[in-house]
């Protein structure tokens, strides 16, 4: 099974990239101080870096594991490496998380739903599809052997 990035995320990355020349033009046009313009460009650049793997990663699933392939890197995890596999979020912000880092024993379901930081080096995050999400999730679970929540 191959999971490609959603087109909306892909185009959003290029849309945000287009803000850099726009900020440079507006800075010139309205005579911003150079430090103001530089802060805005640095902020936009940080957003682009953080969104890069989400916008350009393709995932390859088989019954042994998952491979994340991006422009600059490829990484592979076996399904047995993951301590947590499940969906997280609400409504349109659902995501599938696969984390090699075990969750603390004392975290509640409500706290887990609000957890926003997952270490990128230990986590694979797949966007919830815009259409057919539950069906896609069931097919994903058939590859990994079901949801998992191992706590330490």
Mean pLDDT value across residues 6-16: 89
Q: For tokens 């659902």, name the residue.
A: 94
Tens digits of residue pLDDT in 20-69: 888 888 877 777 777 777 888 889 999 999 888 888 989 999 999 999 99
By percentage, how much of the chain surpasses pLDDT 90?
A: 33
Containing H/E element for 34?
helix 34-56
- Between 138 and 35, the higher pLDDT residue: 138
- pLDDT, residue 80, reads 92
pLDDT of residue 130: 80
- In the prediction, which pLDDT does 105 show? 86
Please, which residues have CB within 8 angstroms of residue 64's CB and are 6 or more apart in sequence?
78, 79
Q: Which contacts qualify for 104-108: CB closer than 8 Å, 24 or more apart?
A: 104/151, 104/152, 105/151, 105/152, 107/151
Determine the pLDDT at residue 62: 92
């Amino acid at each position: 099974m191959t999971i490609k990035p959603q087109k909306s995320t892909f185009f959003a990355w290029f849309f945000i990239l287009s803000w850099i020349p726009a900020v440079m033009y507006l800075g010139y046009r309205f005579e911003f101080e150079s430090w103001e313009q530089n802060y805005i460009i640095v902020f936009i650049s940080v957003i682009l870096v953080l969104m890069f793997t989400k916008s350009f990663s393709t995932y390859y699933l088989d019954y042994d594991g998952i491979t994340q392939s991006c422009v600059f890197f490829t990484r592979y995890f076996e399904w047995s490496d993951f301590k947590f596999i499940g969906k997280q979020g609400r409504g349109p912000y659902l995501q599938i998380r696969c984390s090699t880092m075990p969750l603390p024993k004392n975290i509640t379901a409500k706290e887990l739903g609000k957890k926003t930081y997952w270490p990128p080096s230990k986590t694979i995050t797949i966007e919830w599809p815009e259409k057919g999400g539950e069906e896609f999730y069931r097919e994903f679970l058939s590859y990994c052997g079901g949801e998992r929540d191992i706590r330490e």
